[in-house]
Structure 1
Amino acid sequence: MNLRCLIIDDEQAAINVLSNYISKTPFLELAGTYLDPVQALEVIYTQPIDLIFLDIHMPEISGLEFIKLLRGRAKVILTTAYSQYALEGYELDVVDYLLKPIPFDRFLRAVQKVKEIQSSGEKTVVSPVPAAYAPTTTTNDHVFIKVDSKIMKVRFQDILYIEGLGNYVSIYTDSGRLVTLSTMKEVEEYLSDTYFTRVHRSYIIALNKVEYVEGNQIFLNKNTAVPLGETYRDRFFKLLEENMMNKK
């Protein structure tokens, strides 16, 4: 069974590219293209549509606002030239996030995922993080990460803690928060075990930022607390004992 698709983008050139890609993909059927998202909404509410290729920056209604109006009527693949909206797309449960210019092989991976979701009846999930957005190699005291369109240097000594958000992570530093496309597992591989440890399935902390521990809460810099997960409790306290004056 073919997937009926709509393309919504305020640039005709972008529509032309996606239309061409859809025509080359046997299980996709193009049901319409729209420069105006308002007109597209009328179609979606009256016709069966399986998949929408949706731009973010559009007149009248942004792509992210458009998703909220859909109320789950169709799967969504975001197509945009701006990477900074990836986290919001994740939170709105899009299937994938394609950065323009979109290579055909990357397009195929995204639509194949939609096909598999439709076939299995699974809930929409976000695609794995593209390798190009994972943290780059580290040296002894810092890591390079991609944030929006920038590659930023983050010093280990500036990191307070890291919070996992599915296929994204928030890195909290002394000067603010940085969001990058990566996973907690990938982050662990890049960080030094000497300075950092995982204390929860969603949190990695800098050991030298720990002020005190109370119950199942770890307090960092006195006014920031993260949860201590039961799975990580023994290992965390063993690390603390190595620097404890009174070990009785």
Structure 2
Amino acid sequence: MDETLKCIIVDDEEGAHLVLKQYIGQLQHLELTGAFYTAVEAMEFVYNNRVDLIFLDINMPGLSGLELLQTLSDPPLVVLTTAYREYALEGYKYRVVDYLVKPFHFQRFMAAIDTVYSRLRPRVVVAGGSNTATETPAFVMLKAEGEMVKVMYDQLIYVRSWGNYVKVFTTQGVYLSPVTTTEIEQKLDKARFKRIHKSYIVAMNRISKITGGLAVLDDGTELPIGTTYRRELLDNFQ
């Protein structure tokens, strides 16, 4: 994507402004059009100007960063900048594409910008000869062992209910996350991940065969298929 992204900073800390301005200034495809110390000031600006990307702090006096997002019916893309990891996951119900935990370095900032462009980059879909652009992120953010972990969709194999937690099985390891199976199901791309049992969600491209009441994955793992999910699952392979 060649178009310059117009971005703003919303943070009550002077140090965060200095760092972000320095980092943004090094990238020709980012244009800083505003810097605000309160969410209210930023809200007024967003209402009256084009904003493609917000670097947004969560904890600010008065209106918080998340409360700002709640007021916007069509918010720009957002990169959270926060000193508090535990609040980052909540922001992913909005158009948050990444989060930067303070203090962050330029390399981590660049990774966030790459994620922003990945969200904006058109994906070609062969359907009636037309190309469509999607904004579905290619990852899910999970809280695991006190940290926020980005799990790429192509690494996620399946999810298993584990009491008030879920175990997320990936090609990089297993994560225990304090969310319910239903909550994580709502975060995943429904075209790529299906609930096959009250306790299991699976990546569809990992299923090698269905035999009896089991979904057999490409690594040989066997997962049970619930009666209420069986018909919908089979319909996906017809």
TM-score normalised by the chain length of structure 1: 0.58
| Shift in CA distance, 3/63, structure 1 to aligned 2, threshold 3 Å | same
Q: How far apart are the structure 1 equivalents of 2:23 and 2:29?
A: 12
Deviation at 1:86, TM superposition (A): 2.5
Deviation at 1:65, TM superposition (A): 1.4
What residue number does 1:59 align with? 61
Structure 2 residue 145 is matched with structure 1 residue 146: yes
**Aligned-partner Cα distance in 2 for 1:99–1:27:** 23
Query: In the superposition, relative to structure 1, how do residues 22 and 124 fare at CA in structure 2: closer, same or farther (>3 Å)?
Result: farther
SS in 2 for 1:64: helix
Q: How does 1:24-173 map to 2 (within 5 A)?
A: 24-120=26-122, 121-123=133-135, 125=137, 146-148=145-147, 172-173=162-163
* Contact persistence 2:75–2:95 (CA under 8 A): no
Decide whether aligned partners of structure 1 residues 99 and 126 sit closer, same or farther in structure 2, where only a CA change above 3 A counts: farther
The one-letter amino acid paired with 2:137 is V
RMSD: 3.7
The 1-side partners of 2:5 and 2:66 are apart by 22
SS at match of 2:28: coil
Larger Rg: 1
Aligned residues: 174
Q: 1:42 to 1:128 in 2, by over 3 A?
A: same
Q: State the 1:89 CA deviation.
A: 1.8
Quick check: 2:160–2:199 contact (8 Å CA) kept in 1? Answer: no
**Residue deviations 1:193-243, cap 9 Å, x none?**
xxxxxxxx96xxxxxxxxxxxxx86xxxxxxx6468895932456xxxxxx
- Provide the residue aligned with 1:209 in structure 2: none
Segments of structure 2 that go 5 or more residues without pairing to the other structure are 123-132, 149-154, 176-183, 186-195, 203-208, 215-221, 225-238
C-alpha distance in 2 between matches for 1:170 and 1:102: 33
Cα deviation for residue 25 of structure 1 reads 1.0
CA-to-aligned-CA distance 1:71-125 (integer Å, 9 cap, x gap)? 2231111110111123212222411111111111111121122234334243152
Match for 2:58: what amino acid? Answer: I
CA distance in 1, matches of 2:201, 2:137: 27
Task: Sort the Cα spacing of 1:113 and 1:148 in 2 relative to 1 into closer, same or farther, 3 A.
Answer: closer
Tell me the CA shift for residue 170 of structure 1: 9.2
1:185 and 2:170 correspond = yes
Partner residue of 2:181?
none
Q: 2: CA distance between counterparts of 1:74 and 1:58?
A: 19
Cα distance in 2 for residues equivalent to 1:33 and 1:186:
40
Runs of 4+ in 1 over 6 A off after TM superposition: 227-230
Asked if structure 2 preserves the Cα contact closer than 8 Å seen for 1:95 and 1:127, the reply is: no
Instruction: Return the letter of the residue paired with 2:135.
Output: K
- SS of residue paired to 1:71: coil
**Is 1:96–1:126's contact at 8 Å kept on the other side of the alignment?**
no
Identity %: 35
Q: Normalising by the residue count of structure 2, what TM-score does the alignment of the two structures yield? A: 0.60
C-alpha contact (below 8 Å) 2:7/2:34 kept by paired residues:
yes
Contact 1:94 1:126 in 2 (8 A): no
